[in-house]
Amino acid sequence: MSQSKLDDLFDYTEERCLWQFFSRTWDREENIEGVLGQVARLLTGQEPLRGTPQERLLYADALAMANDVRERFPWASQVNHEEIQFLIDGLKSRLVDTVITRSTNRELNHHLY
């Protein structure tokens, strides 16, 4: 796996995707897992999950991201399914570390919310 591809995805996500900055830890985790799971499905040609309102919401964000990734990064159409999944898993891990684990926002886990 190329570190530069993961860096590309991370930089794009940090710049363009507001769903990673929801107000609570559980929201952020749900969005990171859900949106990127749908992105992986879209980039590997699998049918996205759209059976519930939540899946359709995640799909809407994922569709925009997958289309942007294909447009911005020529390598996205040249990597195999395993590498896509590896990149998405790496992106999930990096986002969780950045926007949850190392976040200094105390409201993320505040007991009154």
d(CA 28, CA 23): 7
What are the domain boundaries of the chain? 1-100
Q: Are 31 and 20 in contact (CB under 8 A)?
A: yes
Instruction: Tell me how crowded residue 14 is: count the other CB atoms within 10 A of its CB.
Output: 14
pTM of the model: 0.93
| Each residue's pLDDT tens digit, 67-96 | 999 999 999 999 999 999 999 999 999 999
What mean pLDDT do residues 7-27 have? 92
The mean pLDDT of the chain is: 94
- What is the three-class DSSP state of 85? helix
